[in-house]
Each structure stands twice: as C-alpha cells, then as structure tokens.
C-alpha cells in the first residue's frame, strides 16, 4: 500500500477497485482512495493506492483456475482516470 496524502477525521473518502491483471489461478485487484475536496479545493486528492492478489482455492485446498464469471464480471471495470 502506498500512502500519498493525509486524511483527517471528517474527510470523505471514495475508494475505487478494478481488475489489474488476470493470471491462471489469481487476479490482481488495484484500489485507489481519494479524498473529496476540502474547502478551497476543486479536485479530489489521491490519498492511497493498493494492490491485492486474490488466489482461487478449490475444495482440495489447492489453487484452481479463476472462474469465467469472475473474469467476465471484473472485465468491465475500468481503471480510474488519473
């Protein structure tokens, strides 16, 4: 996780999640937290970014292929604009 800016009590945050990359048994999910503009600001401020790896585990407790419905469901999510 990369911390980019401070957050104060009362700040409103918006967190976006999107699929970064699919592998055979895992996927990388990327997240960005932005703070809504404070008084005198006009644009949201990025405050944190993270990368999470999710691995699909089957009944045998071994990695299995990422289900197609997961790939299709996350496939439509786009990265936020910079």
pTM listed for this prediction: 0.74
Domains of the chain: 2-75 (3.10.129.10)
CA distance 41 to 18: 26
Q: Are 35 and 5 in contact (CB under 8 A)?
A: yes
Among residues 1, 3, 77, which one has the least CA distance to residue 46? 3
* Tens place of pLDDT per residue across the chain (82 aa): 999 999 999 999 999 988 888 899 999 999 999 999 999 999 999 999 999 999 999 999 999 998 888 888 876 666 666 5
């Amino acid at each position: 996780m990369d911390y980019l800016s401070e957050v104060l009590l009362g700040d409103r945050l918006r967190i976006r999640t999107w699929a970064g990359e699919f592998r055979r048994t895992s996927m990388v999910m990327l997240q960005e937290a932005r703070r809504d503009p404070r008084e005198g600001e006009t644009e949201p401020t990025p405050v944190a970014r993270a990368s999470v790896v999710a691995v699909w585990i089957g009944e045998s407790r071994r990695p299995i292929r990422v289900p197609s419905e997961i790939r299709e469901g996350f496939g439509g999510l786009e990265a936020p604009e910079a």
